[in-house]
Amino acid sequence: MADSNFIDYVKILCRSGKGGAGSRHFHRAKYVPKGGPDGGDGGRGGHIILRGNSHMWTLLPLKYRRHIFAGNGQSGSEGRSSGKDGEDVIVDVPCGTVVFDADTGDYLCEVTYDGEEVKLLKGGRGGLGNWHFKSPTNRTPRYAQPGEPAVEKAVILELKLLADVGLVGFPNAGKSTLLSSISAARPKIADYPFTTMEPQLGIVEYRDKRSFVMADIPGIIEGASEGRGLGLRFLRHIERNAVLLFLVPADAEDIAGQYEVLLEELRRFNPQLMDKQRILAISKSDMLDDELREEIEKTLPTDIPHVFISAVTGYHLTELKDMLWGAINDERNQIATPAITHRPLDGHHRVREEDEFIFEPTPVENDEEEIFDEDDLGDWEEDWDEDFDDSTGDDN
């Protein structure tokens, strides 16, 4: 997968900006002997915001951007002027990106639609300047609030493709051939297993200019949940699909048995997948005659609708699309899809080379905090008399 452009799992280090410190400044000017505190507030630290972008379909740009740091807020300064807010960082991600805490595996947030903005890490609040702390009992507050610290977190971004129909089958079942015959997608097709190494989406045009999205994922074999074959890593791309289309080739020895194996692997990956509507297509049916088809028909599982198809001759493809369309628009599926709960990350999802990725965070630079020089205050504080008339009319 090293040379692949389809990246659906990245680990990055994010750090929001820290808040700027409030200023401890005292006003001084000619003919204004006791100007009083006038230190302004620190600026807010920058947020890290994720934004859905429908033109992106892989996390590849983030693979080369392992550190995402927002700007720090600037310190406040004299004359009650507030420091500048730190710069927010907006990170574009494909729709369907789910974010987990890399240390605990806990689900944090997700971005589903184009333009959706999700605040991943909040910037620290800026500290209040000393003029806020002026009171009748303390006219020379020599303190100001420091800014809130930055938040640092290692996160894992996982892409779960958003498609209406997910294709499930053993390697060589004809999944890619089907996608290429009913959509404009051109996945690689060959008569050896694991031709498809990464998921691919295709838009299936349907009657009356309607369309739906179909996802072709790498083949699944028995024991995939224990890591055999390509494992179950790609199954997350069908977690959000409304309908699962199982593909078993007509020349398989035991079609019902193959279907059961696939179903069991799915169940082990995520029991929630069992709630989805399923359709069974017997692929490569051009190899069957009527007699054989009738014989197979008797052995098929009865709890799932089925259809004999051939992606090569186009046999029953319209019927298949009708069945899929009906299932996608089935009210139950529409309710079920957005309600998916995200489990914390587990071993099924992990990508070793990503997990061994070691962070070398650059130390947070100490931004020049306003140093309050005691001597600077001079003597004037001493002659700050009790009955000092606060003529500035402050709101405090």
Q: What is the DSSP letter of 236?
A: G
User: Which of 42, 34, 41, 39 has its CA nearest to residue 139?
Assistant: 34
How many C-beta neighbours within 10 Å does residue 172 have? Answer: 20
For residue 352, the minimal CB distance to ligand GTP (Å) is 22
Q: Could you tell which of ligand GTP, Mg ion, none binds residue 184, using a CB distance below 5 to 8 A set by kind?
A: none
The reply on whether position 193 binds ligand GTP by CB under 6 A is: yes
Rounded to whole angstroms, the Cα distance separating 224 from 44 reads 48
For residue 69, the minimal CB distance to ligand GTP (Å) is 40
Q: Which of 23, 58, 196, 258 binds Mg ion (CB under 5 A)?
A: 196
Q: Are 161 and 112 in contact (CB under 8 A)?
A: no
The reply on whether position 284 binds ligand GTP by CB under 6 A is: yes
> Which is nearer to Mg ion, 70 or 161 (by Cβ)?
161
State the binding string over 196-225 for ligand GTP (x if CB under 6 A, else -): x---------------------xx------
The reply on whether position 312 binds ligand GTP by CB under 6 A is: yes
Rounded to whole angstroms, the Cα distance separating 384 from 130 reads 17
The reply on whether position 231 binds ligand GTP by CB under 6 A is: no
How many C-beta neighbours within 10 Å does residue 246 have? Answer: 25
Q: Which of 81, 112, 140, 195 binds Mg ion (CB under 5 A)?
A: 195
Kind of pairing between the strands at 165-169 and 210-216: parallel
Sign, CA dihedral 189-194-197-200, equals: positive
The residue written with tokens 């740091």 in the block is 69
The reply on whether position 277 binds ligand GTP by CB under 6 A is: no
The reply on whether position 191 binds ligand GTP by CB under 6 A is: yes
Q: Could you tell which of ligand GTP, Mg ion, none binds residue 283, using a CB distance below 5 to 8 A set by kind?
A: ligand GTP
Cβ-proximal residues to 331 (8 Å cutoff; 6+ apart), any chain: none
Cβ-proximal residues to 15 (8 Å cutoff; 6+ apart), any chain: 48, 67, 68, 69, 70, 121, 150, 151, 152, 153, 361, 364
User: Which of 69, 88, 73 has its CA nearest to residue 22?
Assistant: 73
The reply on whether position 112 binds ligand GTP by CB under 6 A is: no
Size of the site for ligand GTP (CB under 6 A): 24
The reply on whether position 176 binds Mg ion by CB under 5 A is: yes
Edge-to-edge, what's the strand order for the sheet holding 165-169? Answer: 200-206, 210-216, 165-169, 243-249, 277-283, 306-308
For residue 191, the minimal CB distance to Mg ion (Å) is 11
The interface region with Mg ion, picked from 66-74, 187-195, 239-247, 259-267 by CB under 5 A, is 187-195
The interface region with ligand GTP, picked from 47-55, 133-141, 193-201, 325-333 by CB under 6 A, is 193-201
> Which is nearer to ligand GTP, 74 or 283 (by Cβ)?
283
The reply on whether position 97 binds ligand GTP by CB under 6 A is: no
The reply on whether position 96 binds ligand GTP by CB under 6 A is: no
The interface region with Mg ion, picked from 19-27, 152-160, 195-203, 295-303 by CB under 5 A, is 195-203
- Joined tokens for residue 146: 């420091």
> Which residues form the interface with Mg ion (CB under 5 A)?
176, 195-196
